[in-house]
Amino acid sequence: MQIIRGLHNLRPEHRGCVATIGNFDGVHRGHQSVIKKLLQQARLHGLPATVVVFEPQPAEYFRGDATPPRLTSLRDKCLLLAQYGVDRLLVLRFDAQLAALTAAQFIEGVLVEGLGIRSLIIGDDFRFGCDRGGDYSTLKDFATRHGFSVDYTSSFLALDERASSTRVRAALQAGDFRAATELLGHPFRISGRIVHGNKNGRAMGFATANLNLSRRRSPLHGIFAAWVHGLRPDPWPGVAYVGTRPIIDGVKWVLEVHLLDFDEDCYGRHISVDFIEKIRGDLPFTTFDALAAQIRIDCEQGHRILAGVNRRVAS
């Protein structure tokens, strides 16, 4: 999948495509239904299937830390979109200039002049432009004027309700990973490069692979049984912690994974962590000895949970 960062990086060869626009946070089954229709139209026209996303997401720009934590980093979003067959991804920086564009300016500047779209696929709740003034009817008017087609997909129902990032986030926060996986169409995953930590886990006998969440918050908080991809051909069992490490007065969100029965140097490796089941929430430990004793219990439980999960299905 080709990634284009910003309108200024669009080239003449990028003109002519079938496109869709959105946050695609989580790339859940509702998003996948849009992508399926996008691919069908792209193949029909013999053009690249192009997804347009914003970074940061518009809600993050307007609301800052009051925004619910996102499900996927931009990197994870890219990996998932590529996995589902998207040809090109246009990442637009959402800033004051972009936020001020009217619906008409966005259509003519980005979609018509920038991408030269032949067809546009949107979700049924899509709104855009300054003050969210543009919708499907707006697009239909401009489509007639500029010679492109526009179509929408109806809401995708999962577990008898509309699939949405909000529902996925609620399922994760409730520890309902079966529901989250049903809504997502894939396990909830966080990916990243293993970095050096403060070695507290190693000192307690439980070395961890630490992923830098880059100042992001997480929709998860606690201890989880997880499969780790990227170290072996098959996923490796692990026990993952997501939180702020209150025992060391932490404020930064971290993801630390203790790889069960694994003792190799893996710094610098890219891994993906699939969360399978919640073991417990964060506890207010006052000593590292108490924490180490609890980690032993957590690892035993993680072993039991993952022994009952087909790792091929989990991947």
The H or E element that residue 110 is part of is none
User: In the prediction, which pLDDT does 313 show?
Assistant: 47
User: In the prediction, which pLDDT does 251 show?
Assistant: 66
User: In the prediction, which pLDDT does 287 show?
Assistant: 78
User: In the prediction, which pLDDT does 264 show?
Assistant: 84
Which are the contacts of 39, defined by CB distance < 8 A and separation ≥ 6?
A: 49, 85, 86
User: In the prediction, which pLDDT does 314 show?
Assistant: 47
Spell out the domains of the chain, with CATH numbers in brackets: 2-161 (3.40.50.620), 187-314 (2.40.30.30)
Six-digit token string for 239 = 């026990």
User: In the prediction, which pLDDT does 198 show?
Assistant: 63
User: In the prediction, which pLDDT does 160 show?
Assistant: 86
**Rounded CA separation 25/168 (Å):** 10
Asked whether the beta carbons of 125 and 95 are under 8 A apart, the reply is no
Per-residue pLDDT of the chain (315 residues; tens, 9 = 90+): 999 999 999 999 999 999 999 999 999 999 999 999 999 999 999 999 999 999 999 999 999 989 999 999 999 999 999 999 999 999 999 999 999 999 999 999 999 999 999 999 998 778 888 878 888 999 999 999 999 999 989 889 898 889 999 999 999 999 999 999 999 999 999 999 998 766 555 555 567 888 988 667 889 999 999 999 999 999 999 999 998 876 555 667 889 999 998 888 888 899 999 999 999 998 877 677 888 888 899 999 999 999 977 665 444
- Look at residues 60, 58, 277, 263 and name the one whose alpha carbon lies nearest to residue 188: 277
DSSP symbols for 27-45: --HHHHHHHHHHHHHHHHH
**Rounded CA separation 309/314 (Å):** 7
**Amino acid identity for residue 252 in this structure:** K
User: In the prediction, which pLDDT does 253 show?
Assistant: 82
DSSP state of 109: I
The H or E element that residue 74 is part of is helix 74-83
Which are the contacts of 314, defined by CB distance < 8 A and separation ≥ 6?
A: 187, 227, 235, 274, 276
3-state secondary structure of 215: coil
**Rounded CA separation 24/198 (Å):** 34
**Rounded CA separation 50/86 (Å):** 6
- Look at residues 259, 245, 253 and name the one whose alpha carbon lies nearest to residue 302: 259
Six-digit token string for 283 = 């506890």
E-state strands within the chain: 2-5, 17-21, 49-55, 88-93, 117-123, 149-153, 157-158, 161-162, 189-195, 209-212, 222-229, 236-243, 254-259, 270-280
Six-digit token string for 156 = 């995708």
